[in-house]
């Protein structure tokens, strides 16, 4: 179930991440959805959707972090 646009992302993503981070999430999720179609390519017996969400959050964390107030902000790197 790839996401066609950021407005279709889960509320946990839309309600917490800035727009650019949402775009990163969407792109990473969709890529992982395609990459991990075969269950033997996934870890921990996770289903395809769970794996794609994990990959997407990891991609976001490469460019964003939570600040002291708990808001997602672009990392300085």
For residue 64, list its beta bridge partners: 74
Condensed to tens digits (0 to 9), the pLDDT of residues 9-57 reads 999 999 999 999 999 999 999 999 999 998 888 888 899 999 999 999 9
| Residue 51, number of CB atoms within 10 A of its CB | 21
CB 72 within 8 A of CB 21: yes
When pLDDT is cut at 50, 70 and 90, the band that residue 1 belongs to is confident
Q: What does the domain layout of the chain look like in residue ranges?
A: 13-38+47-63
Q: What is the pTM of this model?
A: 0.91
pLDDT at 24: 98
3-state percent helix, strand, coil for the chain, nearest multiple of 5: 55, 10, 35
What's the CATH number for 13-38+47-63? 1.10.1740.70
């Amino acid at each position: 179930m790839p996401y066609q646009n950021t407005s279709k992302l889960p509320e946990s993503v839309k309600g917490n991440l800035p727009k650019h981070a949402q775009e990163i999430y969407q792109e990473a999720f969709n890529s992982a959805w395609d990459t991990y179609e075969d269950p033997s390519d996934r870890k921990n017996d996770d289903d395809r959707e769970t794996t794609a969400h994990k990959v997407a959050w990891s991609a976001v964390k490469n460019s964003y972090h939570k600040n002291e107030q708990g808001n997602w902000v672009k990392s300085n790197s």
